[in-house]
């Protein structure tokens, strides 16, 4: 069994603020340690479930957060940027299951630290009329390779967002959202136990969980936080301006959609 883990930080128990999630934050190193230990709990669950290959993709910010030495030696770790598939770099049809650790809700929803890829750039991303956050867009990339997302950890609301798209997904809810920067957190040790146990259950049930897919063609609409960002993305070929803050494009391949979304965010991110 081959297992792919995409690891973010905002959904980790104890992480509630930009000072935890940003490189320059005073508490960032502490949050990186919490993240590393939650990811390792997922790795340990996968090892106990019989995985013979485990690839972890560090998927937050600089994508250089996880303390490598603290991971179980069976896990291989993708660190660094840029990556063509960003939070899903390394996924392929060789994998039997994908697991998302430390995930958060989409921009504008109630979940703790909600955002979609870049909180200073994106207001919303819609694909064929469905508003998707990181969970949904990353699950579609896994679905392209016929890989089911069997597990998600994070706050109670990201668990709801994930279940709405993948009804039989397994979860570890490690905190309850109070508001965008406040949560009621499970003790880190218990959070890790929950992640490990639910990883094992999820992997045992992987054949019952369908890969997440939406039928092509794909009409993608992206809404930005300022008009200059939409103007900058409008320079790309294939892109149409749909309003002062909105661009859209059409693709037939979900990987092309994902790469265009990610490139647009990088371009828009250069405009302040
Ligand atoms: Zn993140």
Please check whether residues 225 and 112 belong to one and the same domain.
no
Please check whether residues 151 and 251 belong to one and the same domain.
no
Beta bridge pairs of residue 78 = 57
Please check whether residues 261 and 153 belong to one and the same domain.
no
Does residue 8 have a known ligand-binding role?
yes
Q: How many domains does the chain have?
A: 2
Span from the CA of 75 to the centroid of ligand 1 (angstroms):
20
Please check whether residues 138 and 228 belong to one and the same domain.
no
Span from the CA of 10 to the centroid of ligand 1 (angstroms):
5
pLDDT over 80 at 159, yes or no: yes
Question: What is the chain's Cα-based Rg?
Answer: 17
Please check whether residues 113 and 155 belong to one and the same domain.
yes
Span from the CA of 212 to the centroid of ligand 1 (angstroms):
21
Span from the CA of 59 to the centroid of ligand 1 (angstroms):
7
Does residue 231 have a known ligand-binding role?
no
Residue 153, in any domain of the structure: yes
Residue 206's pLDDT is 98
Span from the CA of 26 to the centroid of ligand 1 (angstroms):
17
Average pLDDT over residues 79-104: 98
Please check whether residues 112 and 247 belong to one and the same domain.
no
Residue 124, in any domain of the structure: no
Q: Which domain holds residue 242?
A: 218-269
Domain boundary among 155, 184, 208: 208
* % residues pLDDT > 90 (the chain): 99
Average pLDDT over residues 223-240: 96
For 234-249, write each residue's pLDDT tens digit: 999 999 999 999 999 9
Please check whether residues 35 and 147 belong to one and the same domain.
yes
Residue 91's pLDDT is 98
pLDDT over 90 at 272, yes or no: no
Does residue 60 have a known ligand-binding role?
yes
Please check whether residues 90 and 222 belong to one and the same domain.
no
Beta bridge pairs of residue 149 = 98
Residue 256, in any domain of the structure: yes
3-state secondary structure the chain: CEEEEEECCCCCCCCCCHHHHCCCCCCHHHHHHHHHHHHHHHHHHHHHCCCCEEEEEECCCCCCCCCHHHCCCCEEEECCCCCCCHHHCCCCCCCCEEEEEEECCCCCCCCCCCCCCCCCCEEEEEECCEECCHHHHHHHHHHHCCCCEEEEEEEHHHHHHHHHHCCCCEEEEEEEEEECCEEEECCHHHHHHHHHHHHHHHHHCHHHCCCCCCCCCEEEEEEECCHHHHHHHCCCCCCEEEECCEEEEEECCHHHHHHHHHHHHHHHHCCC
Residue 123, in any domain of the structure: no
* Residue indicated by tokens 């054949």: 207
Residue 126, in any domain of the structure: no
Please check whether residues 61 and 82 belong to one and the same domain.
yes
Using the CB atoms, write b or e for 105-131: b if 16+ within 10 Å: bbbebebbbbbbbbeebbbbbebeeeb
Please check whether residues 183 and 58 belong to one and the same domain.
yes
State the first-to-last Cα distance of the chain, in angstroms, to the nearest integer.
Answer: 45
Does residue 10 have a known ligand-binding role?
yes
Residue 89's pLDDT is 98
Please check whether residues 98 and 197 belong to one and the same domain.
yes
Whether 160 contacts 112, CB under 8 Å: no
For 26-62, write each residue's pLDDT tens digit: 999 999 999 999 999 999 999 999 999 999 999 999 9
Please check whether residues 226 and 166 belong to one and the same domain.
no
Task: Give the CATH number for residue 252.
Answer: 3.30.1360.130
State the catalytic residues.
Answer: 115
Residue 170's pLDDT is 98
Span from the CA of 122 to the centroid of ligand 1 (angstroms):
14
Residue 183: CB atoms within 10 A of its CB come to 23
Cα–Cα distance, 113 to 66 (Å, whole number): 19
Beta bridge pairs of residue 223 = 124, 246
Cα–Cα distance, 162 to 170 (Å, whole number): 9
Whether 233 contacts 224, CB under 8 Å: yes
Residue 60's pLDDT is 98
Average pLDDT over residues 152-177: 98
For 100-135, write each residue's pLDDT tens digit: 999 999 999 999 999 999 999 999 999 999 999 999
């Amino acid at each position: 069994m081959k297992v792919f883990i995409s690891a973010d930080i905002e959904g980790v128990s104890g992480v509630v603020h930009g000072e935890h999630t940003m490189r320059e934050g005073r508490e960032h190193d502490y949050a990186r340690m919490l993240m590393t230990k939650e990811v390792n709990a997922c790795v340990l669950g996968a090892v106990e479930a019989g995985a013979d290959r485990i690839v972890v993709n560090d998927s937050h910010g600089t994508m250089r957060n996880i303390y490598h030495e603290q991971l179980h030696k069976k896990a291989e770790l993708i660190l660094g940027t840029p990556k063509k598939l960003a939070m899903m770099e390394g996924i392929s049809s060789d994998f039997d299951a994908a697991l998302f650790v430390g995930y958060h809700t989409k921009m504008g929803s109630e979940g703790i630290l909600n955002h979609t890829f870049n909180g200073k750039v994106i207001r919303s991303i819609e694909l064929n009329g469905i508003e998707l956050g990181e969970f949904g867009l990353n699950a579609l990339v896994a679905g392209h390779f016929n890989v089911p997302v069997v597990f998600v950890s994070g706050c109670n609301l990201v668990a709801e967002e994930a279940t709405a798209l993948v009804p039989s997904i397994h979860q570890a809810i490690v905190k309850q959202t109070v508001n965008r920067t406040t949560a009621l957190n499970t003790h880190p040790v218990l959070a890790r136990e929950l992640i490990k146990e639910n990883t094992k259950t999820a992997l045992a049930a992987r054949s019952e969980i369908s890969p997440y897919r939406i039928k092509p063609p794909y009409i993608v609409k992206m809404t930005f936080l300022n008009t200059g960002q939409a103007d900058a993305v409008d320079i790309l070929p294939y892109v149409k301006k749909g309003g002062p803050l909105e661009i859209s494009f059409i693709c037939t391949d979900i990987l092309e959609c994902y790469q265009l979304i990610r490139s647009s965010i990088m371009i828009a991110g250069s405009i302040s």
